[in-house]
Chain A
Amino acid sequence: MSMRILRPGLLSTVQDSGRYGLQHLGVVPCGPMDPVALELANGLVGNFAGEAALEITLIGPEIAFEADTLVALCGATFDVKAAGRPLAADRPVFLPKGSVLSTGRALRGSRAYLAVAGGIATAPVLGSRSTYLPAKFGGLEGRAMRAGDVLPLVKNSPEIAFKRYQSFPSKKELPNGIRSVGWSTPALTLPEREPIVIHAMEGRHHAHFDAAARRAFFEATWKVSPDSNRMGFRLVGPVLARAEAVEILSEPACLGTVQVPANGLPIALMADHQTTGGYPKIAEIAAADVPRLAQLAPGGTVRFARCTLEQAGELRRVLRQRLDAALRSLAWTHGK
């Protein structure tokens, strides 16, 4: 059982919940840029939250399904067609053998996850199917999709697809044998009006910066630079000067760390972030807000709102509750 990539899109990679447990050997966690959208997509097709799916970016791929498959697309709003007709996302879709799913441009947000019932069955590397592009391992040969690629699915994916689709309430028949449902899950991470507001705590080296820089970080509107990627978002805005140039010994870096190299322009560390780094950290983005930042496209704008560790924890609990509420309605349909 497999899906064939007819057109790869801009950057389509296999990602599961991430490669943890080896950061002390410098093995980057990878995983989804927007784990909330991945969890929703997996929930819709009855998978575990962190099952391997296809992360698609800004311009989506065109994919042919070589057997009956149950899929869901969550995250950024893409222009989506199945068998040539517009298709609604954020819901499970049963695609009969031979169907072609075509995604165009991202209309809102920048990344979405195409989950398949049973998951994408590429070989795990060091315990994960996540693609790590710079090191060229994980996913499919450690790289983004190309035209002609074939992604393996689990052997019994057509049976799983049929069984899971049967369990849904308010089923809806569409032309060409495609079936969906009359309901959807909410998008929880899409950017509202720009500049979006992202909560961040003062970083370990916040005091190393001069007064103007400390103020500017939380007051300026930052623009995501075009040379941003899965490793980090380079932010363009006022140059952040340090009070004095102190070299810092390499220390651990985290998802959401905002570090500032000597050129004074901050970099927010994202899913493929380095495990350690030696640039001063002006801020740490609240975990709950990293997925929303990940949905900004190059050129998108963001402002940082100062928060405390406790507030960041509260944001995380609120997001978890919203995600759980969206998933709870699905749980019974899959007999969980």
Chain B
Amino acid sequence: MRARALPWIRDVVPALCGIAVHFDPWHPALPAPVLEYFRELIGESLKMASKFEDAGRMVEVPVCYDPVFAPDLDEVCSLTKLSAQNLQKLHTSAKHAVLMVGFSPGQPYIGGLDAKMSVPRRATPRTRMPMGAVAIANAQTAVYPYDTPGGWSIIGRTPLTVFDPAREPASLFAPGDRVQFVAISRAEFARLSGRLE
């Protein structure tokens, strides 16, 4: 759909559930009635879509699971009845993969979380998730590229820069990438991030 370069289409955004086609509602070339046009366009594109190929890279993500970076650790442990050590072990041994990138620039939705450590989203979203926060909800892990609001439970932090508009590619993660979480100490975190915490 993106390849068609239709001037009134602004964005095509695939997600876990559904796809959004954002269009300029005031574009002079917008076809009418637009909804019928989209039904056809999406139908055609789905027919053409090639089968998903497992061509993603392996991205290694160092995570410090120290309680100082994991404000929700106690709550997750009590909800899942797991010790902090077991939680970390489950998170670093599971085979994860990036399902989609969304919410804010470069933020991956990573599938493959062990069902034993699954927790629902928090009832009230935090107004600020710190940059690099590694957080879980349901069957997924997210890594927060920026200080943004968010409703997931924080279990650690990575020193990696998830998104940098001046870097090529800007986004550390792309849909389809496989992900390996690796536990690091606070000292390693400080060294890798080049900052003292």
CB distance from A327 to the nearest CB of B (A): 12
How does the 8 Å CB contact mask read for A12-36 relative to B, with 1 for contact and 0 for none? 0000000011111111110000000
Among B12, B22, B151, B171, the residue within 8 A (CB) of A261 is B151
- Bound-state CA distance A27–B20 (Å) is 14
Q: A262–B124 contact, CB under 8 A?
A: yes
Contacting B101 at CB < 8 Å: which of A24, A231, A248, A320?
A24
CB-defined contacts of B102 to chain A, threshold 8 Å:
23-24, 26, 250, 252, 274-276
Flag whether B35 is at the interface (Cβ < 8 A): yes
Q: Is B138 an interface residue (CB 8 A)?
A: yes
Q: Mark B123-154, 1 if CB is under 8 A from A, else 0.
A: 11101000000000110000001111101000
Within 8 Å by CB of B11, from A24, A249, A263, lies: A24
Structural contact, B11 and A276, CB atoms closer than 8 A: no
Q: Is A126 interfacial (CB 8 A cutoff)?
A: yes
Assess the B149–A26 pair: CB atoms within 8 A.
Answer: no
Q: How far, in angstroms, from A274 to B18 measured CA to CA in the complex?
A: 15
Q: What does the 1/0 interface line of B92-127 toward A look like (CB < 8 Å)?
A: 000000001111111101000000000011111101
Question: Which one of A22, A25, A261, A309 contacts B125 once the chains associate, using CB atoms below 8 Å?
Answer: A261
B120 and A126 contact, CB distance less than 8 A: no
How many of B's residues come within 8 Å of A, CB to CB?
44
Q: Are B13 and A275 in contact (CB under 8 A)?
A: yes
Q: Complex formed: what's the CA distance from A250 to B19 in Å?
A: 11
Q: Complex Cα distance A253/B149, Å? A: 15
Return the contact of A21 from the options B10, B17, B151 (Cβ within 8 A). Answer: B10
B15 adjacent to A251 (CB under 8 Å): yes
Taking a contact as CB atoms closer than 8 A, the residue among A28, A251, A278 that contacts B104 in the complex is: A28
Are the C-beta atoms of A262 and B121 separated by less than 8 Å?
yes
In whole angstroms, what is the CA distance A275 to B106 when docked? Answer: 11
Does residue B189 face the partner (Cβ distance < 8 Å to A)? no
B14 is an interface residue with CB less than 8 A from chain A: yes
Chain A CB within 8 A of B196 CB = no
Chain A residue nearest to B21 in the complex (CB):
A252
With contacts A20-B22, A24-B12, A276-B100 known, is A247 near B120, CB below 8 A?
yes
Determine whether A287 belongs to the interface, using a CB cutoff of 8 Å to chain B: yes
**Interface SS of chain B:** loop
Contact B11 A316 (CB under 8 A): no
Q: Which residues of A contact B120 (CB under 8 A)?
A: 247
B103 touches A134 (CB 8 A): no
Residue in B closest to A309 when the chains form the complex, CB atoms: B35
Bound state CA distance, A35 and B113, in angstroms?
41
- A48 CB to nearest B CB, Å: 14
Q: Tell which of A26, A252, A263, A316 has the most Cβ of chain B within 10 Å.
A: A26
**When the two chains form their complex, are residues A247 and B103 in contact, meaning their CB atoms are under 8 A apart?**
no
- Cα of A45 to Cα of B123 in the assembled complex, Å: 48
Asked whether A254 is an interface residue with its Cβ less than 8 Å from the other chain, the reply is yes
Query: Is B165 an interface residue, CB under 8 A from the partner?
Result: yes
Whole-angstrom CA separation of A23 from B13 in the bound complex: 6
| Residue in B12, B15, B170 whose beta carbon sits within 8 Å of that of A276 in the complex | B15
Q: A275-B13, A276-B15 are in contact. Are A25 and B106 (CB under 8 A)?
A: yes
Q: Which of A133-192 contact B (CB under 8 A)?
A: 134-137
Contacting residue for A274 out of B11, B35, B103, B127, CB 8 A: B103
- What are 15 A-to-B residue pairs whose CB atoms are below 8 Å? A20-B10, A24-B14, A25-B170, A26-B145, A249-B17, A250-B15, A250-B103, A251-B16, A261-B151, A263-B123, A275-B13, A275-B104, A276-B13, A287-B25, A316-B26
A residues bordering B, Cβ < 8 Å? 20-29, 125-126, 132, 134-137, 227, 231, 247-254, 261-263, 274-279, 287, 309, 313, 316, 320
